Amino acid sequence: GDSVTQMEGPVTLSEEAFLTINCTYTATGYPSLFWYVQYPGEGLQLLLKATKADDKGSNKGFEATYRKETTSFHLEKGSVQVSDSAVYFCALSNAGGTSYGKLTFGQGTILTVHP
């Protein structure tokens, strides 16, 4: 079945440092790929997504490129801020139609950014 493997955390960085959180996946067909973020006390929010190979998703300074050849969707940000401290989840979806919304998640990576 489908699976997502995410870089284990926690990750601790200083403000303005470069961030990479690795994510690789196993799936049949051509899944859509997502990064979700969960801030303390809040629900998961969609951070960015990519629906086909070589697509780059971007939002709030974060980027991830759908690499089919390496089955990866690594999350990057050039300069992190304290407000980026959160839990980040990589996910994929192979379901459409009435099953749209069924996601396969990685285990999540806790990011803490210090001033």
User: Which residue ranges make up the site for other proteins (CB under 8 A)?
Assistant: 4, 36, 38, 41-46, 89, 98-108
In this complex, which beta carbon is closest to other proteins, that of residue 6 or of residue 66? Answer: 6
In this complex, which beta carbon is closest to other proteins, that of residue 17 or of residue 55? Answer: 55
> 78: helix, coil or strand?
coil
| Of 17, 20, 24, the residue nearest 9 (C-alpha) | 20
* Nearest distance in Å: CB 5, other proteins: 9
* Nearest distance in Å: CB 30, other proteins: 17
Any idea what the Cα angle at residue 65 is, between residues 59 and 71, rounded to 5°? Answer: 140
Which tokens is 101 given? 């919304």
In whole angstroms, what is the distance from residue 33 CA to residue 36 CA?
10
In this complex, which beta carbon is closest to other proteins, that of residue 17 or of residue 85? Answer: 85
